[in-house]
Structures are given as structure tokens and as C-alpha cells.
Chains A and B, each alone.
Chain A
Amino acid sequence: MSGEPGMGEKTSSHEHHAVGRVVRRKDGLAKVTGAEQFAHDIDLPRMWYGRVIRSPHAHARILSVDTAEAEAMGAVCLTYADVPKLKYNERIVSTPPFLYRDRQVLADKARHVGEAFAAVAAPTEALAEKAVRALKVKYEPLQTITSVEDAMRPGADPIHDTVRLEDAEIPIENNVAVRRNVEVGDIEAGFAESEFIIEREYSTQPIYHAQMETKAVTCRPEPDGGITVWPCTQSIHNTRQLLGEIYEIPLHKINVKKIAMGGSFGSSIQMNSVIPICVGLALKSRHPVKLVTTREEDIHDHVRYPTNIRLKLGLKKDGTPVAGHMHAVVEIGAHNIQAFPFLGGLAGFWASLYRLPHMKYEGIAIYTNKTPTCAMQGFGAPQVTFAVESLMDEIAHELGVDPVEYKLRHYIGLGGTFWGQGPAVKSIIRSDGVSELLRIGAERIGWKDRHAPGSQTGRYRRGIGMARGFHTSGVGHPKATGAEMIDYSGAIVKINEDGSVDVAQSLADHGGGTLEAIAKIVAEELGVPIDMVGMSPVDTRTSIYDVTTHATRGVYAGGAAAHKAARTAKGILLDYAGRVLDVLPDSLVVEPEPQLGQGVIYCPNLPERRITVGELAKLCQLNSWGTISAVESVRQVNCPPAYVIYYVEVEVDTDTGNVKTCRAALGSDCGTVVNPDLAAGQLIGGLSKGSGYALIEEARWDPETGELLNRGFWVDGKTPAMGEMPPLEDIHTFFSDTYEPSGPFGAKGLGEASSNPCAGAYANALYNALGVRFYQLPVTPEKVLAALAREDAA
């Protein structure tokens, strides 16, 4: 340890043979040759195809589904009458006291356009499609509620009468799914102490995840009454537990396979809606059934939480924040997938951005008849960071101080308390690269040379904006019981008889390289070359529990489990080696030997005492000493912030309102960088997604009918493509020289952080270009033109 107290030393990557090295990713070969199997690609003997029927009404009781014609075609049909009626919550990350359950496999009521309420399976996909169209449905349309105001109006039709919380059915009043308030300090005294007050309202929109793979699943009924499932999921174990609970099948008879995920961005934390339906079809038809949703169906299934934030800040004359009051209104659509932790996340991320002695947070989540909302890269952080980073920029300009300096003065860094995800998840910050990143970014973008806000007059106006933020690294914290969220990972590490290593972990790789990092962590600890470590294909029968790969916890929390298992296995390895070499195990080291292509165990003081890892493992086998292996579960007791800073330069065409991204400087403090190339790729991916959120993407519904108006990537929606990105030479990525003492080899998270500050940076860049503040996302060309027209009129 060196430097400031609590600031870990940087273990530079040249001391590592695996961590921090750039190598070809292990799953890359399968992905570039088309061999990788995704949920769409599973094909089984005797397999049938499933299709679901989705409601054309936003809110309707399903009075009857006549299946006679479909069945006469040879299809097996599944309706409300055929499925268990248990209410569940599809995201069992929260513990039972905090889990609001309003879902059923198939319901007798549709709560949004596109909600599935019956399904068919047939020997061919064409017949399944024909059969699903032959279902005759009687609906009783109910009041369509498409706004928070309408939902809360007295006399509004209840979207859910009751939901289940533990064993009780609790009533839902005024369509309020859940409220959550958090208070710190004395808010009245805080505002009384304040010398000026600023209050603003920010709105953020729902957007579609737009993961490239639509949700799909294949299920095979097993002779023993069990089921094997190949799903899109971020958690095979939670999927298994939910299916066991719903269908009352013992867990050992349910096997959920981990397969590659074609993107998710949070939309598969929960068990996707088609998974239990497909299980029902397979159990009823006694055939394997594959159910692949179309893009249009998928767009109807999940969006990011739209959030309206009213934020009032009380400050000292010098700009020191004293008190803050935030109202957050979240329209959650038809189902409460995770509104309670989301409301907590908003509060926690707000509390962790800038020091605020007195704060009051009031969050409310409202049901409407729209697509269900769920986590999407950031879980509240993009929303709250947009609001806070915009407001802090505005205050800095009011005060006439540099926003970078102002934010550096008041942000929560080293030694401060970070709320990893809501008030129940807190830890002390032990690594912090913010000032370093802000300094580097300012140089790369030319911060000091930017125009004065609103000083330009031509058609094209450029502006530079900055925002900072973070995501948590997992939701670990020190309390032993009473956790709101489960947060642990497991790993199995096994040393093979040729010196290679198998790692079995149910952690999911979103594509960012989590499993690549795990392999490097294990290789580093064991002292074997990275190419001798394999990430095993796993399923729920052969792996141990991992909660889900969310909350930017893969490398930090999943990596900690793998690291611990590798350490334990290494201890066994050295014990055996000590016996064989007749030295004390503590005198031994393991290092990769490039010429042998594997790890070598030797005693530095007696260098002739040496044996390769493979020779030792083989000896263990021949002597029947057993397999060198370890199984470990780990919950981290910290949740370090994965800081990210953004500087972007935009060019506004004041004739068209179009906003072009010209340059970007993106910095990450992820502690030790385990996969440098993939980490840079995550940041740039964050820029692409974040710019879509800031400027163009928005899911919209017809207010009368509740019909979703965007059903595509481009035709009636917009998703950033290659043309929207700045040229290569104008995208800068960089990493701070930090080391997280609680992380594996000093690493913490990165993934979700990569886009969290993005919208705030764009809003601030637009202010710099035009001298106009934007408080509503996305800042579309129409909004830019309207704002310019208002300016002209004023």
C-alpha cells in the first residue's frame, strides 16, 4: 500500500502474465465462424415449435380462448386454464420481503398490447403460426391507462387488484406499485441553512434494449418429469428456481443450460416471459419445444424505466450543496419486475454523486398499460446522473466556476460512502481515479479551449460537455442478514492431468469479456498460461449458484469467487508439490513456463526441485490422491464505485436540429484493467448506446389505444448505427492508475458505468454549443429546433 491512506498501490500489468494482457478472447473463434450457439440455434430431435398469442388490447379481460380449431390442426394449446396460477416475480435477485409478485405464466387479463395470454406448439413453425391464428379469443376491453396521471386518478381501473408479497396478497391502490422514501440528516434544517436554492425537473424516456438477439428458449421434457431448458438468461440458477417453484418440480430435475447471450443489457436479469410458457408447452406436448420471438414481439416485452425527476438543491453561496429533495416518478408499465430496488437505486446513486449532508428522497412507481419496464444498463444511474450532472453544470455556470473544478470539489471519492444500490448497500470508497480521469479527459478534448456557452452564431455550432458518474461493482455489503438483494457467486476450479485448468462458473458473459477476465484471474493466481485455462460450458446441475450477472458484478464479484477457488486449488497443488519435492509448500511458487506451455512449480531457493503442474496433477491421479480442485462461494462485502467520466464534443446543425457527435474522451476507473482491449470496447459501446439515449431513442405508445408506435430499429424507431459514431481518431479511451483493494487483482467493475454519464455530457455539450439547457431526453432535432425558436422569440 502506498500513497494516500486507503489508496491501494497499483500492481502494474507487467508483473502479471495474464491479468491486463491483450489476447484473443476464448469464445471469439466460435463467434467469428458462426459456430457459437445462441438460444435461437438449439435444435433437438422431435422438436416442435411454439408461438404465443399476444393481446391487441392494452387492457382487457380474456373471457375465453377457443382452441378447438388449432387443436384440430394438430397443435397443442396452452391457456390460462392449463398453467399454474402462482403469482411470481421473474427477477429473484431481491429477497422475499422485497419481492412484489404480479406475474403468472399466462394470465386471464392482458395488461399491455403484446402481452402473451395463450400459446401453441406444433410440429412445424408454419403450423404453429397457423394454429395461433386459429385461436378464437373473447376479450372484454377495460379502460386503457397510458399515463401516470390517469393511472392515479380516482376511479381508474386497477391494472392489478392485488399482488403477492411473501405469503400475503396486498392491495394495489391507485395503481401505485410501490413507494420508497429515504431521508438523511435534517432536510428542513438543511434548506434553512442554504443560501440559495435551485429547483429543476428532468424527464427521461423509456427505450428498448435493442439487444441483437430476440428472446428465445428451447425446452425438453425429460422422462423423470423434469425439464431441460436452453434460455436467454443472465442467471441460469434463478431461472431454474423460478421454474421449480412455478411447476413444482424438484430442482434436481430441472437443468438450465448456459448458452451464449446475443446481448441483453439487463433484459434477461429476469426470467423472460416466454420461458415458463415454453416449459408449459413442452410438459403438455411431451415434445421438446422451441420458442423464438420475433423482433416485434420482443419490442413489446421490455423497455428501460422512464423516470421523471424533480430535484431541489439548497446550497451555500460558494456552491457547496447542503440539502437536496428529490421526487422520482417512475412509470413501470404493466408489471413490477424490480421497481422497489430501482427506486432504491435512484436514491443511492443520487446520494453517491455529490456530498449532501441533508437529503430527502421520495420515489413512486406507477403501473400503466404499457410495455413492462426493467433494468437496462445502469438501473437508475443513467436517469439520475443525467439530472444531477446537468444541474451541477448549471450551478457551476451560475457561479462562474469551471464545472470540472466545481464537481471535483464536491464529488464523493476516496474515503466517502458509496451506496451501491439503494440505502441497504453501502461501503467505504477505497479506490478513486476521478481527478486523474478528469484531467486526462480535459486535455484530450481541449476543455480549456471550448467556446463560451451560446457565443456562436453560425449554422453549425460546436459544444463540449462533461459529465461524470459511476456504476456500482456488485451489491456486496458487510451486513450478515436482512439483505434486500442476493449477491454471491460460485466457482469451481479443477486442474487437469496435463496442467490445463477447467473453470466452471454460471456467470454469464454479456459479450464484454467477463469470462475472459475470469480465465485471466484464475491463470494469474494458479501460475498457468492463460491459454491453458478453459471456461467450461455449464448448467445448473453441474455448477454452483451465482445470483445473476447484473449490477456490473461479473469481474468484481464473480471474479472474487473464481479467485478464491483458484487460491484454494493452488493451496492443494502446493501441498502435493511440497510432498513430492520434499520442501515446505510455503517455499514454492508456480509460474508459467513458456517453453513448456504450462505452469511450473519450483522452489526458488532450491531451483532443481521443480515439477510441472501437469506432471503433478498426473501423479495425483496415478497415486489415487485425487483431483486438485476447489469449489467456493463468495459474497463481496464491498460495492466499489466503477467511476467513468465523459467529455463529448457535438456539432449542432441549427437548420435541421441534428446533433452530430464529433469527438469523445471516455475515462474509466475500473481498478486494475483485466481486459484492456475489451474494456475500451465497453466504453465505446457505452458511447453508442448512451448517445442513442441522449439524442434519438424513445419508445412511444398511442395514448388512446396503448399501441406501441415504434416496432423497429429504424423504420419507426432509431438505433445508433456506425454512421453516428465519431471517426476513430476522435474517440479517446483511457484508464486511471488505480487499484481496488477488495477486488480480484485490484479490479472492479466497468460494464454499466460505460454509458451512465453519457446523457449528462450531451446535455452539457448542447448547452455549451447553444446556450440552451435541455431537461428532457431524448434531445431530438425537433426539441433542438423548438428551443432555438424559443430563444429567437425571447
Chain B
Amino acid sequence: MKTRTIAFTLNGEPREVVVRPNDLLLNVIRDHELLTGTKYGCGIGECGTCTVQVDGKPVLSCLTLAVAADGCQVVTIEGLAEGGRLDPVQEAFLDHAAVQCGFCTPGMIMTSRSLLDEIPQPTEEEVREYLRGCLCRCTGYASIVRAVLSVAEKGA
């Protein structure tokens, strides 16, 4: 199979990776870059746990070909805390007990970050609508909604 070299920034650092045309962004992030915070949950875009940001937009990395990230800025959960300082969304997830088993957490946090970037002051309904593609089997979602709204309240 033909390979191709793609260049992108990953959590702010430039990367060049040789990929096959059918390599998924999820697998490049996890297996090549060894950033295992981004999770495989379903492989068909149903659960949201593989969500990363590509050029600031939330993207399901299990449905995105790696070549599509060529020239893009990719941010994963590992890149959210800048200079060791947690993102306000991460802080809020800790303060509101929005983390249980933690497997959906990276995708949930990345999607929440995108939501707040797009809609800095969302209503509860908007939060529930934006995050409806992220599944969590533990929390019943309430603590997650509360965490996201608390970030908006603080204007972070």
C-alpha cells in the first residue's frame, strides 16, 4: 500500500508521520504518537470518546483519516493543559465529580472545550444538545453538564 508523509502540529509541536491512505487519525495518535488519552470506544462514531480538536473543531478521530489532518492543528486531551496548568474544563470536571471511570472523560472534555469556544455562555439545553454524541455509562451526565456550565459562569 502506498504511504504518504503528512505534516501537522500535535499539541503545538510539529510532526511528520508516514501514513497509509487508510490509517485513522485515532490510530496515528495512539499507536504512532503514543498519546493514549484519546480512546477507542466504538470505531463507528457513536460514542464520542475518540474526540480530538482539529483546527479548533471537535472531530471523531475514529472516523477521520490521518491524511485529512495534513497541514492541520491537532489537539488531544494531553495538549489541553498549557504549561502544566489545567484547562478550566479539566478543573471543573474535577470539582464537580464529573469523572467516574474516566474512559469517556477525554472525549467529553475535548467536546466541552469546543462547545465553550463556540458558545461561551451556553444554556443547559445547549450543553445537552452539543454533548449528546458523547456517551457516558457511569455518571448519568448531570455532573458533566454542571461542570461545563460552571466554566461558563466563571467566564473561562
Residues on A facing B (Cβ under 8 Å): 22, 24-25, 27-38, 40-41, 43, 125, 209-214, 260-263, 265, 292, 294-295, 510-513, 677-678, 680-681, 683-689, 712-715, 719, 721-723, 725, 727-728, 731
Contacts and interface: CB of A to CB of B under 8 A. Distances in A.
B39 to A, nearest CB: 7
Interface in B95-130: 95-97, 99-106, 109, 124, 127-129
Contacts of B105: 31-32
Contact of B137 (A38, A513, A689, A714): A689
Interface stretch (B2-10, B29-37, B53-61, B65-73): B29-37
B144 A261 contact: no
B103 A213 contact: yes
Given A511-B102, A725-B141, A212 B49 contact: yes
B136 interface: yes
Contacts of A510: 100-101, 138
| Central interface residue in B30, B46, B101, B132, by most chain A CB within 10 Å | B101
B85 to A, nearest CB: 11
Contacts of A25: 94, 97, 99
A32 B36 contact: no
Contacts of B139: 681, 684-685, 688
A727 B9 CA distance: 39
Contacts of A30: 102
A210 B134 contact: no
- Range for the number of chain B residues in contact with chain A: 35 or more
Contacts of B30: 41
A114 to B, nearest CB: 16
B47 interface: yes
B29 to A, nearest CB: 10
Contacts of A677: 96-97, 143
A292 B86 CA distance: 30
B104 A212 contact: yes
A263 B106 CA distance: 15
A739 to B, nearest CB: 23
A512 B137 contact: no
Contacts of A38: 39, 103
The 7 nearest A-B residue pairs measured at CB? A34-B37, A262-B103, A511-B101, A31-B102, A511-B100, A684-B140, A34-B77
B132 A723 contact: yes
B44 A36 contact: no
B41 A212 contact: yes
Contact of A263 (B40, B90, B101, B140): B101
Nearest to A516: B97
Given A512-B138, A687-B140, A34 B38 contact: yes
Interface in B70-98: 76-78, 80-81, 86, 90, 93-97
A524 to B, nearest CB: 20
A100 to B, nearest CB: 29
B135 A719 contact: yes
A262 B106 CA distance: 12
A309 B77 CA distance: 47
Contacts of B133: 721
B42 interface: yes
B63 interface: no
Contacts of B103: 38, 211-213, 262-263
Contact of B94 (A28, A43, A265, A685): A28
Given A34-B78, A41-B36, A27 B102 contact: yes
Given A33-B81, A713-B42, A728-B146, A722 B101 contact: no
Nearest to B125: A727
Nearest to A690: B140
B19 interface: no
B140 A262 contact: no
Nearest to B98: A681
A684 B142 contact: yes
Nearest to A719: B135
A715 B143 contact: no
B45 to A, nearest CB: 9
A210 B41 CA distance: 10
A689 B100 CA distance: 14
